[in-house]
Chains A and B, each alone.
Chain A
Amino acid sequence: MKIFISFVIILLSLTFNNLHANENIERNEITKNLRCLICQGQSVYDSDSDFANSMKILVDKKLDEGLSEKEIYIYFKEKYGDWILYDPGINKNTYLLWLLPILIFLFGGAIIVKSFILKK
């Protein structure tokens, strides 16, 4: 019996630990994609500035409120603009950023096709 009880206790404590770790993983995932505005060039996850620490608390709060990752990004985007995100979506300011690599790739491909394949 004793063995059984201690087994249950260990099992329970392990599951609680897991729960906690999952929450942190989600928070870390989100804060890695948010830019710290005080120490620019660092993500909120990496930074230990006052602002970044408050952001981490707020991300936790929003997760507790049941907001999804996307909703949290939208929330911060409304407050601070696109710049707060490391991975901004496509809009009229960023379409060049997204399309340029594809265009360059296609252009390069066309040159290769023209000079190496069609020449033969």
Chain B
Amino acid sequence: MKSKLVQYSIILIFLIIFVVFYKSLKDTNIYTPEVKINNDIPIFSTELLISNDELSSTEIFETDKFYLLNIWASWCVPCRDEHPILMNLSKNNKLTIIGMNYKDNKKNAKSFLDELGNPYEKIIVDKNGTNSIEWGAFGVPETFIIYNNKIIKKYIGPLNQELLIEIQKIIK
């Protein structure tokens, strides 16, 4: 009786281990931080890319207006892919697009915009990457939708046609 109990429990333990390992085989180990929405936007002051002026966040983001903050860099290949989407969105007058130039060379950033067009109303500079961390981002490209000084939506990675439709629905 006792040896049977031991046998069954050993089988059970192995079965549990097998299920746990089998399940975790399929799980990806890459963690993306949970998208925290309705967080207040950080307060910062930073340099602008084109005019070199110093500007604070309160001067950029007004209440009762939709803003799209896009973190980009000229060296980032997916940013090139999403650029036509941003150009498309810039035609919408309900939305103001703000760019954040991430760890980039000013000359390269300007020639990137000359080549592909400039959808941004203002471009702030994030020279050492700390500004984007204040926003809770960890790479390029990342996009935030802001309303009333709150982040209402966040997209990690390049925008695509589906997200374009989603954004247009949000700002309607």
Contacts and interface: CB of A to CB of B under 8 A. Distances in A.
B136 A80 contact: yes
A57 interface: yes
Contacts of B133: 51, 54-55, 58, 79
B29 A37 contact: no
The dominant DSSP class at the A interface is: helix
B128 interface: yes
Interface stretch (B13-21, B30-38, B47-55, B164-172): B30-38
Nearest to A80: B33
B139 interface: yes
What does DSSP make chain B's interface, helix, strand, loop or mixed? loop
Interface in A17-50: 37-38, 40, 50
B130 A58 contact: yes
Given A81-B34, A81-B36, A83-B31, A50 B136 contact: no
Given A40-B31, A57-B130, 12 more contacts: A37-B33, A51-B129, A51-B139, A58-B130, A58-B134, A78-B39, A79-B36, A79-B136, A80-B138, A81-B34, A83-B33, A84-B33
A53 interface: yes
